[in-house]
Amino acid sequence: MGTRSNGAELNIANGIREFAVATPRATAVIDGDRSLTYAALDERSSRLAQGMLALGLATGDRVTVLLGNRLEYCEIACGLAKAGLVSVPVNPRLTAPEVAYILQHSGCRAVILDEALRDVAEPGMLAAGIERVVGVGGGYETFLEAARPADPAVEVPETDPFTVCYTAGTTGKPKGVVISHRSRAITFYLTALEWGLGPGRLTLGVAPMYHGAGFAFAYAACVTGGTVAMLRAYDPELLLDMVERHRPSSVFLVPAHIQMLRALPEAVVTGHDTSSLATIYVNAAPLPQQAKVWTIENFPTAGLHELYGSTEASIVTNLRPPDQLRKERCVGPPWFMTQVRVLDAEGEPVGIGEPGELWSRSPMVFRGYLDDPEATRQATSEDGFVSAGDIAMLDEDRYVYIVDRVRDLIITGGVNVYPREVEEVLHKHPAVADVAVVGVPDEKWGEKVVAVVVSRREPVAPAELVEFARGELAGFKLPKEVRFVAALPRNAAGKILKRQIRDELQQSAP
C-alpha cells in the first residue's frame, strides 16, 4: 500500500474547491465594486496555477507576493497552493533594500506584484536574478486569460509549506517562518468555529494580508464558504461605513485600529449602525484595558475576544467575552488543541502568579525558520513546544497573562521592570492617547525607565504623569523620563517598534 496516509491531505486550496461545487454562485470576495463568486475564484486560481507552472516553476518553488489588500490576494494564494508552490508574502510598505533582502534570502524564483510597486522590487529582482514577474495592474489579466482553467491538482503533503512568512524584523534581520498547509488549514476551520465565519456570513479583511494574522482571518472566510470584503487601507470612518454597508458578522482588528476608532468624535461612532457585528476579535499587540472597556461599551452587540499568538505558534490563547472584564490584562486559556507551559531560565515550571517564558504546542506550530537552524533550535523544544520570546504568568484558573516581551524587559538597579505594566497604568490618564515604555542605558541604574507619550491635547506635564502612576506603581517602576511625540512608530500589524524608539532616544541623548 506504500507510504500514503489514510484520508485526504489538508491543503489551503481545498475549501475553495469544495464551495465552488457546493455554492458556486455565492460571493467569496468583495473589493469595492468588484467581487468574485466561488466559481470564479476557483477558475481564476486554477488559471493562476497553470500560468505559474507554464513559466517552468516546480513543486516547492517559492514565489514572492508583493501586494496590498485586494481581491487578487485570495486567488493568488489559492492558485499557488494548487500548483504546489510556496508563497512568500512581503509587506508592500518595505523599502527596496528590505524587499531585496527577502527576495535573496528566500531564494524565490518568481514574483507576483502590484505593478505600482515594481520600482521597489526591481533592484532586488535584478540582484537575485529573478526574471519571472507577473504584474497585477499590468499584464495580470492577460496572463490569466492565456492559461488553462483546469485545476492542476498538484499533490502536496499537508506537512509541506504553503508559505514562508517573514517576521517584522523589529529585533534584527527578518526571519522566514515556514508554515505548513496542515497548520493553517486547521487554523482556518477553528477560526470559523470560534469567531463566526462560514456560509452565509461576511467578515471584513482589515489587517494587512501579507501579515500572518491578517491573511489567516480574511482567507479563512474563503476556505469555509463565507464572504470577505476587503478594506484596502485602514481608515476608521471607512471601516464604520463598511460595517454599515456590508453588515458583517465579525471583524478582526489590531489594537491600533481600535485606538484610531476611539480617537473619532463620539457622534461619528454612534452615528453608524454596527448592530450586525456579533464578534470583534483582537490580536497582534496588547489591548489596553481602557480600550477594551470602550469597545465593549460602543459595540454592544459584538462579543469581544482578545487572543494571543505568534507567526510561529499560530493562535495560542483566547479570552472570550464572559471573561473580558473579570480577567484584566489576561489573554485567556489555551485555545483549541493547544498546550502551554511557563518556564524559568532553567527550564523548570514556575509557580502560579510567577513570571516565566511562555511555550506552547499544537498542530498549528511552524516548521522552523528558513535556513536558520540555530534560531529554530532556540525557539523550539525537543518535544515540540514553541516560544515567541514572551514573558507570561498563569493564574489559579491557569489562564495566561502576557507580562511582556523577553527582549523588552527593563533591568534597572538590578530589578526587573515589565514595560507593559507601566504602560497600562499610564493609559488610564485622560491625557494619554498612546504610550510606549522602554529602557535606555544609564550609568547609575544600568537602564532607566523612559515613557514615550502621545497626548490627546496639549502635553501634560511629565511630573503629573509620574505622580499619577505613583499611586499604582512602586518607585523603581516609575518613568525617570517622559518624552512627548506626535505618533509612535508601528509596523503594519500595529506592533510598536520599540527597538526604533530606543535607538532614537539614545541618539538624542546629550
Distance, C-alpha 212 to centroid of its chain: 5
pLDDT on residue 140: 97
Higher-pLDDT residue of 88 and 287 is 88
pLDDT of 418 higher than 60:
yes
Helices (H), 61-95: 72-82
pLDDT on residue 492: 67
pLDDT of 499 higher than 50:
yes
Quote the percentage of the chain above a pLDDT of 90: 74
pLDDT of 171 higher than 60:
no
Burial of 443 (0-12, 13-18, 19+ CB in 10 A): exposed
Burial of 350 (0-12, 13-18, 19+ CB in 10 A): middle
pLDDT band at 2 (very low <50, low <70, confident <90, very high): very low
Q: Which domains, and CATH codes, for the chain? A: 38-180 (3.40.50.980), 409-507 (3.30.300.30)
Cα separation, 475 vs 415, in Å, equals 11
Quote the percentage of the chain above a pLDDT of 70: 96
Q: What is the pLDDT of residues 27-47, one digit of tens each?
A: 999 999 999 999 999 999 999
Joined together, the cell numbers standing for residue 195 give 469567531
pLDDT on residue 476: 84
pLDDT of 50 higher than 60:
yes
Residue pair 140/284 in contact (Cβ under 8 Å)? The answer is: no
Cα separation, 22 vs 226, in Å, equals 12
Strongest mean pLDDT among 237-241, 283-287, 423-427: 237-241
pLDDT on residue 109: 97
How high is the mean pLDDT of the chain? 92
pLDDT band at 335 (very low <50, low <70, confident <90, very high): very high
Strongest mean pLDDT among 256-265, 361-370, 436-445: 361-370
Residue (of 473, 411, 466) closest to 439 by Cα position: 411
DSSP string, 186-240: HHHHHHHHHHT-STT-EEEE-S-TTSHHHHHHHHHHHHTT-EEEE-SS--HHHHH
Q: What is the pLDDT of residues 195-204, one digit of tens each?
A: 999 999 999 9
- Which residue in this structure is represented by grid cell 494564494? 77
pLDDT band at 1 (very low <50, low <70, confident <90, very high): very low
- Greatest CA separation found in the chain? 75
pLDDT of 52 higher than 90:
yes
3-state secondary structure 95-135: CHHHHHHHHHHHCCCEEEEEHHHHHHHHHHHHHHCCCEEEE
pLDDT on residue 4: 54
pLDDT of 169 higher than 60:
no
Using DSSP, how many helices (H) and how many strands (E) does the chain show?
16, 23
pLDDT of 177 higher than 60:
yes
pLDDT band at 5 (very low <50, low <70, confident <90, very high): low
